[in-house]
Amino acid sequence: MPLCRSHDKLAALPRDPRADEYPMPSVPYGWYAVLRSRELRPGKVVSLHYFGRALIAFRGADGRPAVRDAHCPHYGAHLGAGGKVVDGTVECPFHGWRFGADGRCVEAPFAARTPKVSLGGFPVREHSGLVFVYAGPGEPSWEVPEIPETGSKDFAAPIDDTCRARIHIQEMRENIVDESHFHFIHGQSEPPVQEWRADGPFAEARGRISRRVLGWVIDNTFDAFMYGPGVMVVRTHGPVLSVTAVALSTPVDDRTSELRMLYYIRKPARLPFLTPLAKLVFRMEALDEVREEVEIWDHKIHQARPVLLPHEKGIKALRRWYAQFYPSDLPVHPSDLPAHPGDLPAHPGDLPAHPGDLPAHPGDLSAATATRD
């Protein structure tokens, strides 16, 4: 049996309508990276579309990024289609109304008084070369920590790879704890044994991955650090190659999710001139595997109660942790996952708590819209 199989013919398959059905909202509450800092130049308006909304990003007078709704409340013009930044505000191309970084209208030509209207938007943070927004009710109660490799001279400039799939972002995250797929997609001889730890909105999965690359056996440890539903940092360490992968999963709309991968390769300490070769080999080996996964994701359906084998413990653990990022009053909660088909509890409340102990605050989240106005 080959370790890796081709799925090139999947694109021609008719799509099952169940592939777009999920019991959970399309936007879990949390932080999402919508831009790299370098993509948001001062004086420019960048059009975005995430969370089922048309958005714009620009830098205010102080240089800090703002991410706001794209349509002018005056007459509905798209501020990213011809809008421009003037003195740290975004100016509507249709009638010249201007809006500050906080979304408030600061000028309306020919108006006796400036209208008290605003552009909806998000709390924004910028660090690690990324612009993050918080999608959820109220103000965020936790933060994504800085990622040191993004500014370290020990690592090469990142390989930037972005793809989109018709899949919920939760299933993108489940991929890291799907032990069995490491054999068929990533060439590992046996499913890796993983350790799982959770601490409120943060979680960590540790393990090893061993595979043959260009005739060499690569035996690396990996540590996957998860910061809410949209940001994951995977560090692999080995004698030949060490890589930090920043995995950014973001809902585009209720059917589509984006996966942006930034791969930071550690420069060989004694042979830094080999860095371009290391990046080339990594591109050849890793990026095709991601595309293979995307093709599978595009056609899979969500199994709320999958038939799990005894060693497949990661999906169950992750779903219970991930459930905190949804409203607590969902009719069918994503954490209602039995270990085996016969283990269904009489009531979802009978499920034992995961050792990671979900924090008290997620239960206080209201069922308000998943984006902040």
What single-letter amino acid sits at 184? Answer: F
pTM for this entry? 0.82
pLDDT at 346: 32
Per the model's pLDDT, the better-predicted residue between 8 and 26 turns out to be 26
The pLDDT-based confidence of 12 (bands split at 50, 70, 90) is low
Beta partners for 132?
33, 125
Length of the chain: 373
Rounded mean pLDDT, 184-194: 58
Radius of gyration of the chain (CA): 22
Beta partners for 32?
133
The 10 Å CB-count burial string (b at 16+, else e) for 287-317 is eeebebbbbbbbbbebeeebebeeebbbbbb
Beta partners for 251?
257
Specify whether the CB–CB gap between 256 and 166 falls below 8 A: yes
pLDDT at 351: 31
- HSE-CB for 45 with a 13 A CA cutoff: 28
Strands annotated E in 89-213: 89-91, 98-99, 105-107, 124-127, 130-135, 159-165, 195-199, 202-213
pLDDT at 213: 52
- Render pLDDT for 227-264 as a digit per residue (tens, 0 to 9): 999 999 999 887 777 899 999 999 999 989 999 999 99
- Render pLDDT for 307-321 as a digit per residue (tens, 0 to 9): 888 877 888 999 999
Torsion (CA) 168, 180, 195, 306 in degrees, nearest 10: 50
pLDDT at 277: 78
- Render pLDDT for 34-62 as a digit per residue (tens, 0 to 9): 999 999 999 999 999 999 999 999 999 99
pLDDT at 221: 80
CA angle 172, 177, 183 (to 5 degrees): 100
pLDDT at 314: 86
Torsion (CA) 320, 146, 255, 339 in degrees, nearest 10: -20
Specify whether the CB–CB gap between 150 and 38 falls below 8 A: no
Residues near 27 by beta carbon (within 8 Å), at least 6 away in sequence:
51, 52, 135, 251, 370, 371
> Given the structure tokens 């020919």, which residue do they identify?
110
Specify whether the CB–CB gap between 75 and 42 falls below 8 A: no
pLDDT at 358: 32
- CA-nearest of 149, 169, 154, 156 to 33 is 169
Percent of the chain with pLDDT over 90: 55
Per the model's pLDDT, the better-predicted residue between 211 and 356 turns out to be 211
Would the pLDDT of 175 be above 90?
A: no
Specify whether the CB–CB gap between 229 and 30 falls below 8 A: yes
* Cα torsion angle, 326, 329, 331, 333, sign: positive
- Render pLDDT for 207-220 as a digit per residue (tens, 0 to 9): 877 655 545 556 67
